[in-house]
């Protein structure tokens, strides 16, 4: 499905870019979709208004809960360089979880003036483990195409990648998965946009008969900007793996902190805990202060994920941005998430044990009875990483390599469908 953008919008957007690559095209994409679908822009405005008015009414349970979102990466490729390695996708998922839970190594670098408003969104992401038909999957959907470039000559975007009929791949149910399409897209051979996202637009006032946006929802990202230390990313001003952190913020309803304007008055991003700003940040400048707000004035929050400050300087969301995303997830993408439930304290089994723990090399479990056992291991967000059935003989020992990345996991061992060991393990 090809959507043509009116010439006036194309010229305005190209003037804004001046043919320079920028990390995000979501603001321009909103204009693009608004020009095609009658009612989109009005629905987006109403959605933002509704969310802003209601987000502070989340109760304590809603605030404390951790929400988990299943993700599918559609890797749509022609040349091998576009068919990025699984390791980049895994590292990207890790970057998302570190950023949305404020637990990356850079958190201490938030400037003291902004530390009181920096927060943990308590939103986690995991690779989908079932496809739309309910079959087991890895959450990485690789599709080879004959199309080298999904960019269009009439617009800056790549929505063709969202349709099998256009040599891309149809979305998995966008109400149940966060779809991320990874491909190559340029504007006439020029890399103009790194990525863009589709914001939530289903406020209770909208008229759903005006347009059908569901099949377009998700994020599109150029293959160069997925994962940590992507070897294809040679852009000096890149925000690297935080490109997708930024885009998922848009997907959950956030705006750029300067609200895509060039002045200090009028419409803003909607949050009092992000200081006014009138321009994107394109270099690391801790003295940048584009709007003087008088008493209590603060410098621009260049470390916010919703700015363009080059890597690695975007490192935080604010409390109000977090409230906004969580409200939108609960109310506007309500079928997308699941509530995380902690595993119960492990029962004590005196005669069955893992030793040593932390595990380095082989996983060794000592048993007290012979028989057939099954074992499963899940990661900290509940995603299965290992599942095995095995027999224990008179050596009373399981001793085999464990092929998972370093980290914290939860091990369950069952005999005759009854749990006989449940334990947290650390893999070095």
pLDDT one-digit tens code per residue, 202-243:
765 545 555 556 899 999 999 999 999 999 999 888 999 999
What's the average model confidence in pLDDT over 170-179? Answer: 97
- For residue 112, pLDDT over 90 is answered with yes
Alpha-carbon distance 55 to 273, whole Å?
14
pLDDT confidence of residue 211: 58
Residues 6+ apart with CB under 8 A from 62: 326, 330
Q: Which residues of 213-239 are buried (b: 16+ CB within 10 A; e: fewer)?
A: beebbbbbbbbbbbbeebebbebeebb
pLDDT one-digit tens code per residue, 127-169:
998 899 988 888 999 999 999 999 998 899 999 999 999 999 9
- For residue 61, pLDDT over 60 is answered with no
pLDDT confidence of residue 172: 98
Identify the three-state secondary structure at position 127.
strand
The confidence band for 88, taking pLDDT boundaries of 50, 70 and 90, is very high
pLDDT one-digit tens code per residue, 8-24:
444 344 444 444 578 89
- For residue 359, pLDDT over 70 is answered with yes
Q: In 3D, which of 336, 303, 383 has the Cα closest to residue 118? A: 303
pLDDT confidence of residue 380: 66
Residues 6+ apart with CB under 8 A from 85: none
Q: H or E stretch including 195?
A: strand 193-197
pLDDT confidence of residue 12: 41
Q: Tell me the pLDDT of the chain averaged across its residues.
A: 87
What's the average model confidence in pLDDT over 281-287? Answer: 95
Q: Which two tokens stand for residue 326?
A: 């969580």
pLDDT confidence of residue 421: 85
Alpha-carbon distance 320 to 304, whole Å?
12
Residue range 353-427 forms a domain whose CATH class is mainly beta
Domain residues of the chain, as ranges? 7-255+314-339, 353-427
- For residue 261, pLDDT over 50 is answered with yes
Residues 6+ apart with CB under 8 A from 334: none
Q: For the domain 7-255+314-339, what is the CATH code?
A: 3.40.390.10
pLDDT confidence of residue 16: 45
- For residue 347, pLDDT over 60 is answered with no
253, HSE (Cβ side, Cα atoms, 13 Å): 31
Q: What is the side-by-side order of every strand in the sheet holding 371-379?
A: 384-392, 371-379, 407-415, 418-427
- For residue 311, pLDDT over 90 is answered with yes
């Amino acid at each position: 499905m090809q959507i043509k953008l009116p010439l006036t919008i194309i010229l305005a957007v190209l003037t804004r870019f001046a043919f320079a690559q920028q990390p995000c095209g979501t603001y321009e994409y909103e204009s693009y979709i608004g020009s095609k679908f009658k009612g989109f822009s009005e629905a987006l405005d109403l959605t933002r208004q509704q969310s802003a008015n209601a987000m502070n009414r989340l109760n304590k349970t809603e605030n404390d809960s951790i929400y988990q979102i299943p993700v599918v990466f559609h890797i749509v490729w022609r040349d091998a360089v576009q068919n990025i390695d699984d390791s980049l996708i895994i590292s990207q998922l890790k970057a998302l979880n570190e950023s949305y839970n404020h637990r990356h190594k850079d958190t201490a670098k938030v400037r003291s003036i902004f530390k009181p408003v920096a927060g943990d969104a308590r939103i986690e992401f995991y690779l989908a483990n079932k496809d739309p038909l309910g079959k087991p999957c890895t959450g990485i959907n690789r599709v080879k195409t004959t199309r080298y470039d999904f960019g269009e000559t009439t617009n800056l975007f790549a929505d063709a990648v969202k349709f099998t009929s256009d040599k891309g791949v149809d979305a998995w149910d966008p109400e149940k998965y966060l779809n991320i399409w990874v491909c190559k897209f340029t504007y006439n051979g020029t890399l103009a946009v790194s990525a863009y996202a589709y914001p939530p637009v289903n406020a209770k006032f909208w008229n759903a008969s005006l347009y059908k946006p569901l099949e377009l929802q998700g994020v599109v990202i150029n293959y160069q900007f997925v994962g940590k230390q992507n070897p294809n990313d040679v852009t000096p001003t890149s925000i690297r793996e935080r490109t997708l952190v930024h885009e998922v913020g848009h997907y959950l309803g956030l705006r750029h902190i300067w609200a895509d304007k060039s002045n200090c008055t009028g419409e803003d991003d909607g949050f009092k805990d992000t200081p006014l700003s009138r321009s994107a940040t394109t270099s690391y400048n801790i003295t940048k202060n584009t709007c003087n707000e008088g008493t209590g004035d603060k410098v621009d929050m260049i470390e916010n994920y919703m700015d363009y400050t080059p890597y690695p300087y975007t490192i935080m969301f604010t409390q109000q941005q977090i409230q906004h995303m969580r409200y939108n997830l609960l109310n506007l993408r309500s079928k997308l998430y699941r509530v995380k439930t902690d595993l119960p304290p492990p029962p004590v089994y005196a005669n069955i044990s893992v030793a040593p723990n932390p595990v380095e090399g082989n996983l060794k479990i000592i048993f007290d009875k012979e028989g057939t056992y099954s074992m499963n291991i899940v990661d900290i967000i509940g995603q299965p990483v290992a599942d095995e059935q095995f027999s224990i003989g008179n050596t009373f020992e399981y001793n085999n390599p464990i092929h998972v990345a370093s980290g914290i996991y939860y091990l369950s061992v069952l005999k005759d469908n009854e749990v006989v060991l449940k334990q947290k393990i650390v893999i070095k």
